[in-house]
């Protein structure tokens, strides 16, 4: 068997090295990290800028479905951000917020659990203001596939999509609606270059931008660690927790896909924060969000 395997490999090497690279890249994640990283000289950290963009807001009449048994009848405002990471090897968009079309609906749009969603400015216009063309986004990843995170996914068809296999299967499978997903938001990505993940993933190969698998809110929910040269380590929560109070108390929304996974994912993020002295930026925590610089300002 060993001889046969070697023979096959040798034959491939002699036929076409570029085809081997393609085959390896399309295969397992572990191979992809080592085999597909561009052959640039090693850098300690290639992150140049992190932009936080205003990608909408939701008014909630009763926040208790997000924290069962607590804050019953209490209204809340959810912030909603998109994030752009400019790296020496590419530009990653993390989450895309509510659909840009909402910017033309001043009275907002009704959603689940009494929510009303608003958007002041489009994502496209905010990217334009910071000099980022839509087609210069080389990589795109979403914490998960709910409409307040993938609302503008269809704008980024030329970018490589990084998504957990479990989320991909739910989003592009026949039962997407069962998971609360609306395929019209992201259908155009079906033809995108895609890297399907089964765990954590170092996006640029230098440890500076790492997708963290944090399932529970949805089957393949993920969070993002960003190692900023001047500002330190930040973890972007997605909806692993909707606000810091829920994170601190490990409260899980009743409608999450899996409660145990949700708690384990919060524990994982807490361990990462401790090990990396990282801040956790909770996407929907409007109180915390008020203290975070938004574009055109940025973090380095």
Pick the closer one to Zn ion by CB: 148 or 206: 148
Of 228 and 269, which has the nearer Cβ to Zn ion? Answer: 269
| Binds Zn ion by CB under 5 A, chosen from 57, 95, 100, 148 | 148
148 versus 285: smaller Cβ distance to Zn ion: 148
Minimum distance from residue 173 beta carbon to Zn ion (Å): 21
Binding mask 239-258 for Zn ion (x = CB under 5 A): x-------------------
Tokens 């954590």, residue? 200
Could you tell me the two tokens for 80? Answer: 């909603």
What is the C-alpha to C-alpha distance for residues 21 and 180, in angstroms, rounded to an integer? 37
Other C-beta atoms closer than 10 Å to the C-beta of 17 total 10
**Paired tokens of 255:** 């409608």
Q: Closest approach of Cβ 149 to Zn ion, in Å?
A: 6
Angle at 234 between CA 143 and CA 133, to 5 degrees: 60
- How many residues bind Zn ion (CB under 5 A)? The answer is 2
Closest of 193, 288, 297 to residue 236, by C-alpha: 288
Least distance (Å) from Zn ion to the CB of residue 64? Answer: 17
Q: Does 100 interact with Zn ion (rule: CB under 5 A)?
A: no
Of the pair 95, 206, the CB lying nearest Zn ion is at 95
CA pair distance 225, 208, nearest whole angstrom = 8
Could you identify the residue written with the tokens 């890249």? 25
Tell me which residue has tokens 């998960």.
Answer: 144
Q: Residue 59 Cβ, how far from Zn ion at the closest point, in Å? A: 14
Question: Which residues on neighbouring strands pair with residue 58, listed in sequence order?
Answer: 78, 117
**Are the C-beta atoms of residues 165 and 198 closer than 8 Å to each other?**
yes
Q: How far is the CB of 211 from Zn ion (least distance, A)?
A: 17
Burial of residue 202, with CB atoms counted within 10 A of its CB: 0-12 exposed, 13-18 middle, 19 or more buried: middle
* Between 239 and 285, CB nearer to Zn ion: 239
DSSP string, 154-209: GG-TTSEEEEEHHHHHHHHSTTGGGGT--GGGTGGGGGS-EEEESS-EESSSSSSE
Largest CA distance in the chain: 69
Residues 184-243 that bind Zn ion (CB under 5 A): 239
Q: How far is the CB of 274 from Zn ion (least distance, A)?
A: 25
Closest approach of Zn ion to the CB of residue 146, in Å: 5
Minimum distance from CB of 111 to Zn ion (Å)? 10
* Site track for Zn ion across 102-121, x = CB under 5 A: --------------------
DSSP 214: -
Binding site for Zn ion (CB under 5 A): 148, 239
């Amino acid at each position: 068997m060993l001889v046969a395997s070697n023979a096959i490999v040798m034959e491939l090497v002699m036929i076409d090295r570029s085809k081997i690279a393609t085959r390896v890249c399309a295969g397992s994640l572990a191979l992809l990290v080592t085999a597909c990283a561009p052959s640039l000289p090693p850098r300690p950290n290639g992150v140049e800028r992190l932009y936080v963009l205003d990608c909408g807001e939701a008014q909630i009449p009763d926040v208790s479905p997000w924290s069962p048994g607590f804050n019953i009848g209490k209204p809340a405002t959810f912030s909603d951000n998109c994030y752009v990471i400019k790296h020496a090897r590419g530009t990653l968009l993390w989450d895309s917020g509510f659909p840009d079309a909402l910017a033309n609906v001043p009275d907002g749009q009704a959603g689940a659990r009494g929510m009303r969603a608003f958007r002041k400015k489009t994502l496209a216009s905010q990217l334009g203001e910071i000099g980022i063309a839509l087609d210069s986004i080389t990589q795109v990843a979403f914490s998960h596939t709910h409409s307040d995170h993938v609302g503008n996914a269809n704008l980024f068809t030329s970018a490589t999509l990084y998504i957990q296999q479990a989320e991909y299967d739910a989003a592009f499978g026949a039962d997407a609606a069962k998971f609360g997903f609306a395929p019209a938001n992201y259908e155009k990505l079906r033809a995108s270059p895609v890297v399907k993940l089964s765990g954590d993933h170092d996006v640029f190969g230098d440890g500076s931008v790492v997708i963290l698998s944090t399932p529970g809110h949805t089957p393949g929910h993920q969070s993002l660690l960003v190692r900023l040269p001047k500002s330190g380590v930040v973890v972007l929560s997605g909806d692993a927790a909707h606000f810091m109070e829920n994170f601190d108390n490990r409260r899980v929304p009743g409608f999450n896909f899996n409660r145990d996974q949700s708690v384990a994912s919060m524990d994982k993020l807490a361990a990462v924060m401790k090990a990396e002295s990282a801040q956790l930026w909770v996407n929907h925590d409007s109180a915390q969000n008020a203290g975070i610089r938004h574009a055109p300002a940025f973090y380095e």
